[in-house]
Amino acid sequence: MRNLLLTLSYDGSAYHGWQVQENARTVQEVFQQALFAATGRREDLKACSRTDTGVHARSFCVSLLTESPFPPERLTAALNHYLPPDIAVKSCREVPLSFHARYSCRGKEYVYRIWNHPVRDPFLVGRALHYWYPIDAALLDRAAGFFVGTHDFTSFCTLDRRDPGDLTRTVTHARVARQGDLVEFTVAADGFLYNMVRIMVGTLLRVQQGKLTPQDIPGILAARDRARAGPTAPACGLYLNQVFYDL
């Protein structure tokens, strides 16, 4: 038995997130089909997280317990042969049997991309939020700084039927930067709640609109009230950018 760590990237536009669902096409389903085509085995997969419908990943990690004799480099090539063009395996390597893509993760980094121009960019449709009003990236960067630290992020979480558990997370960096007409919000933490990054973005855009100030962020966090934060930004601009492990 071997344990393999595979790193994928994918455009999530055509998928209902990572996790297998009934009557919906997901990245996991397509990946498992490619894996069976490549190895003839139905393997036990562990993913680093669940991305939502329309969310993308530049670095999505999966651990795979297998008895397949495939060398990692050959498995990478075989999987990419069977996968569609919007999903790719970037790397594959052997890791200790105790490694788990989700539970061994010590943090993640997300990027949210905003196309800030009066005219849409056809090449970014489904891959960035089109926001045509001017954005002051320096103002939003100051607001984003208030997310850094250990906080209860109840105000920045969509609660569903799942047990919410502990809603405290530690954000290690949060920044907004502009590159031409593209504005990016980058945030890293030891973990993220459901829709947390998208609600952060919606709240930052409320700051841009003058409905909130950067100094309002601590009060929103302290309120532990979802209604105090901004709306949930669309999924199209969100990318899982990095996953951190002690390997």
Which pLDDT score is estimated for 76?
95
What percent of the chain has pLDDT above 70? 98
Beta-carbon-side half-sphere exposure of residue 149 (alpha carbons within 13 Å): 10
Residues 131 and 213 in one domain: yes
Residues 232 and 134 in one domain: yes
Which pLDDT score is estimated for 41?
86
Which pLDDT score is estimated for 161?
61
Q: What is the mean pLDDT of residues 190-198?
A: 95
Q: C-alpha angle with apex 57: 25 to 19, nearest 5 degrees?
A: 35
CATH number at residue 238: 3.30.70.660
- Reported as a pLDDT band with limits 50, 70 and 90, residue 195 is very high
Q: What are phi and psi of 150, to 5 degrees?
A: -95, 120
Q: Is residue 158 part of a domain?
A: yes
Q: Is residue 14 part of a domain?
A: yes
Euclidean distance between CA atoms 63 and 230, whole angstroms: 35
Q: Is residue 100 part of a domain?
A: no
Residues 211 and 115 in one domain: yes
Q: What is the mean pLDDT of residues 81-86?
A: 97
Q: Is residue 101 part of a domain?
A: no
Residues 75 and 27 in one domain: yes
Q: Is residue 136 part of a domain?
A: yes
Which of residues 46, 72, 95 is at a domain's end? Answer: 95
Start-end of H helices in 145-227: 196-208, 217-223
Euclidean distance between CA atoms 140 and 202, whole angstroms: 11
Which pLDDT score is estimated for 234?
97
Residues 81 and 127 in one domain: no
Which pLDDT score is estimated for 8?
97
Beta-carbon-side half-sphere exposure of residue 53 (alpha carbons within 13 Å): 5
Answer yes or no: is pLDDT of 164 > 90. no
Residues 128 and 153 in one domain: yes
Which of residues 95, 128, 156 is at a domain's end? Answer: 95
User: Which residues make Cβ contacts (< 8 Å) with residue 240, sequence separation at least 6?
Assistant: 49, 51, 55, 56, 57, 58, 59, 60, 108, 109, 110
Which pLDDT score is estimated for 70?
84
User: Which residues make Cβ contacts (< 8 Å) with residue 40, sequence separation at least 6?
Assistant: none
Q: Is residue 37 part of a domain?
A: yes
Quick: pLDDT tens for 2-54: 999 999 999 999 999 999 888 899 999 999 999 999 999 888 899 999 899 99
Residues 153 and 122 in one domain: yes
Tokens coding 202: 């919606």
For the annotated catalytic residues, the residue numbers are: 52
**Structural domain boundaries enclosing 202:** 106-245
Q: Is residue 218 part of a domain?
A: yes
Residues 90 and 120 in one domain: no
Which pLDDT score is estimated for 162?
60
Count Cβ atoms below 10 Å from residue 54 Cβ, excluding itself: 19
Contacts 24+ apart (CB under 8 A), 83-88: 83/30, 83/31, 83/34, 84/30, 86/10, 86/11, 86/13, 86/14, 87/8, 87/9, 87/10, 87/11, 87/27, 87/30, 87/31, 87/34, 88/8, 88/9, 88/10
Beta-carbon-side half-sphere exposure of residue 19 (alpha carbons within 13 Å): 8
Answer yes or no: is pLDDT of 237 > 70. yes
Answer yes or no: is pLDDT of 197 > 80. yes
CATH number at residue 20: 3.30.70.580
| Domains in the chain, number | 2
Name the most confidently modeled range: 67-71, 156-160, 179-183.
179-183
Residues 116 and 195 in one domain: yes
Average pLDDT, the chain: 95
Residues 56 and 88 in one domain: yes
Which pLDDT score is estimated for 159?
80
Which of residues 95, 129, 164 is at a domain's end? Answer: 95
Residues 179 and 208 in one domain: yes
Residues 154 and 224 in one domain: yes
Q: What is the mean pLDDT of residues 193-219?
A: 97
